[in-house]
Amino acid sequence: MSMEESPPPAPTATVAESRWGRVDAAGTVYVRTADGERAVGSWQADAPAEALAFYTRRYEDLRVQADLLQQRVASGAASPEDATSTLSRLREAVAGAQAVGDLDGLAERLKAIERQVEDRRAQRKAERGRALEQARARKEAIATEAEAVAAGHDWRLGVDRLRTLLEEWKALPRLDRQVDDALWHRFSTARTAFTRRRKAHYAELGERREEARSVKEILAAEAESLAGSRDWGATSSRFRDLMRRWKAAGPAPREAEDALWQRFRAAQDEFFAARATSLSELQSSERANLAARRALVTEAEALLPVQDAKAAQSSLRSIRDRWDQTGKVPREAGRSLDAALRAVEDAVRSAQETQWRRTNPEGKARAAATVAALRSSIEGLERSVAAARSAGDERTAAEAAEALAARQAWLVEAQRALTDFGG
């Protein structure tokens, strides 16, 4: 009822009145609506104003419930279904309300709230549609990623990723049953395939590791048998081969791998530590031997130039005997010292050969015979030249003179050779 309209005439006298209702003399309480007055109760007490206040409070209770519902709808705290149920209850309560107040306005307000609920319902439906579409796209992406993981070989990260994808799938809303079931079938099939391949891989890996354990037990035992060897070169080569075979064997089960490696490494360390000690001792010995050989080279070079080949040879023999007793020296330094000693030996040998040639009786006799023969030949050629010239035979004289010159040159060389023999 608007403020300008007058309430319908009361059938009895009014003893208390407000904008939205009154109390008559008989104690009946009325509420004013667009359809007119209707009785909402009676009041037998002596204060009619209290009756209006009482029935007005009833109206206020309904209005407060409407306020709360509107707030919950606006904030989204109440679902459209819950709001509709509450609206139905409030509508019935307002329609037959035993209260005094703007019941028509409250009814209109409930209609407005109902429109809000419908808007909210449409909004939620649209949001749910978008959420379902996003969920469908995400579930399809999950199924596709799961299939990619299932085709790979990253067993550790793969199983973690599939577990994460499963948790994400569970958190997503269900789709249309046919679509959801089809996508779940893809995802579940991929997980099952990956699990089977992973189990097969680790079963095969376990077999290979057991095979590796057997191989490495043999290698560790062989290494232990070599630990005390002092054949440095050959054993070092065998250890290198053992290490190559160890790496090629692959990993054994972890609890066995560490223990076997400790055995293998301990044997290897024992051998190479002994080799290092031996090498250090050898290097010290070689340095001492090198110093001794340098001294012997200095002593040998003091024999040059050779004055007495026999004495030099005797001294050189003593040097060579001591040289052979010095033992090993560093290879590069040893080569230069060997060359220096050979140079002295070559010089002494050359002096011996020269001395031998000078003292060889047979050689001296042959040199003297050669000188005598050349002198005799020269005398004969001189007579031939003189005779040819006396006869005027210049050609014969020239040929004899040429032969004479050659014999004279040979004689000079033959006399030099004879002189070398002390003749």
Spatial CB neighbours of 230, under 8 Å, sequence gap ≥ 6: 274, 278
Q: Which amino acid is at 18?
A: S
User: Around Cβ 103, how many Cβ atoms within 10 Å?
Assistant: 25
Note the pLDDT tens digit of each residue in 81-112: 898 999 999 999 998 899 999 999 999 999 99
Largest distance between two CA atoms of the chain: 210
pLDDT at res. 380:
84
Q: For residues 1 and 32, give the distance between their C-alpha atoms in angstroms, rounded to a whole number.
A: 7
From residue 160, alpha-carbon distances to 47, 156, 164, 188 in Å are 79, 7, 6, 15
Q: In this predicted structure, what is the pLDDT of residue 243?
A: 93
Q: Is the pLDDT of residue 200 over 60?
A: yes
Task: Show me where the domains of the chain are located.
Answer: 14-127, 282-358, 361-420
Residue partners of 112: CB distance under 8 A and separation at least 6: none
Give 371-386 pLDDT, tens digit per residue.
Answer: 788 788 888 888 888 8
Neighbours of 268 (CB within 10 A): 19
H and E: helices and strands count for the chain? 11, 4
**What is the tens place of the pLDDT at every residue in 333-391?**
788 888 888 888 898 888 887 777 766 667 677 777 887 887 888 888 888 888 888 88
To the nearest whole number, what is the mean pLDDT of the chain? 87
Rounded CA gap, 369 and 414, in Å?
Answer: 9
76 has pLDDT over 90: no
**What's the pLDDT score for residue 131?**
87
Range with the poorest average pLDDT among 268-277, 302-311, 366-375 = 366-375
pLDDT for position 360: 65
Beta bridge pairs of residue 31? 21, 38
Q: Output the pTM of the full model.
A: 0.42
What tokens does 118 get?
Answer: 């419908």
Residue 11: which pLDDT band, with cuts at 50, 70 and 90? low
End-to-end CA gap in the chain: 174
- The secondary structure of 239-259, three-state, reads HHHHHHHHHHHCCCCHHHHHH
